[in-house]
Structure 1
Amino acid sequence: MDWPTAIARLGGDHLIAAVAWNDLEARYREPHRRYHDLRHAKAVARDSGALAVAFGLGARERALVAIAAWTHDVVYDARPGEDERASAAWTRDELTTAGVPENAITRAEDLVLCTITHSAPDDDLLATALLDADLAVLGADKATYEEYARGVREEYSIYSDEDWRAGRVAVLTNLLDRPRLYRSEIGRARWESKARENLAGELTRWRDADPHHR
């Protein structure tokens, strides 16, 4: 679902929403972004929308998922936690300006915030659609996954190769240790197997590149 449609379905002014979209688009095109860019936002909006339909969510719920998908990385400076909170604040400000009701604003804001820990109650289908879509890239084809991994490394270029390697190994190990990467059965059927293959491959490469690893 596109941004103006989502805003309108939540009772907001689509003309005011167009102004917010211009700012959103400009932010996602900032030069320091190498993965968390407009392509990523579009992909999350697409995949979360498909999941929301598959879950049987109503029009208003699908609009909330779409808003969170478009805005979850609207502020991105490679500061985990801070970026998501700033993105949630941007979401609140712009939805308020557009005249969206408070209950919808709060729900959209909470969805963005759940991307900090990538957790939510098991029965929260809106969060499930968003979070599974946000991780869909892990289960992409090898070339797409490697492009994602390079992009994230470039976004954290302030860190040395050694520090990045240690941090990335910890992240990859944590992901692979999870009993499941995706919250929904649909997500697991679509992406789980390939995601584990991609993650394991990257982990092996980083470990092989570590002179201290035997």
Structure 2
Amino acid sequence: MGKYQIDQGNKFRCPWCVGFKEYIKYHDEEWGVPVYSDRVHFEFLVLESAQAGLSWATILKKRENYRKAFADFDYKKVAEFSDSKIDELMEDEGIIRNRQKIEAAVNNARQFMELQAKVGSFTSYIWDFVDGKPIVNQLTSVGDAPASSPISDLLAKDLKDKGFKFLGSTTLYSHMQATGLVNDHLMHCFRYQEVNLMAR
């Protein structure tokens, strides 16, 4: 495959997005874009925690099912999910039917709101870990990307202390990559410079 994936328009992409059109679209339009919306952060927290032990491609294919199952990722509604609702979700073949992960999503919605009440917004909370500015790495191959970082370690510990579940350092580093706190596009990927220009 080589270091990069190239399309007919001579665009170099990070090779991990090869496989199906939704994956390419996600890479081209979302991955690495700085996120300043609490709802979007919550969406990725749900999806990233669901991914634990699985591939992102698996979760991406189920994303719309997750959107329906988790009230369009409205954390206020998810926080009110009852045990019977969790039982119902366990019967939903469109999502990962892992009770611990589903319960974690509900728990994390409640902790999400508690954190908001204390600091104003989840967005300001998480961006403080990178001093409000994306970390821009200089990767030349996918293998150069770390699975975690000292910052994701700190973030994981702090969120665990705050009662969040299923959000370890590796999961949170993936969250940082997805939501633009870190730019891990390969340097020759056409999105590398584009996402650099999107930060506030």
Give me the TM-score of the superposition, normalised by structure 1. 0.27
Bigger relative contact order, structure 1 or 2 (CA pairs below 8 A, ≥6 apart): 2
Give me the TM-score of the superposition, normalised by structure 2. 0.28
Which is helix-richer, 1 or 2?
A: 1
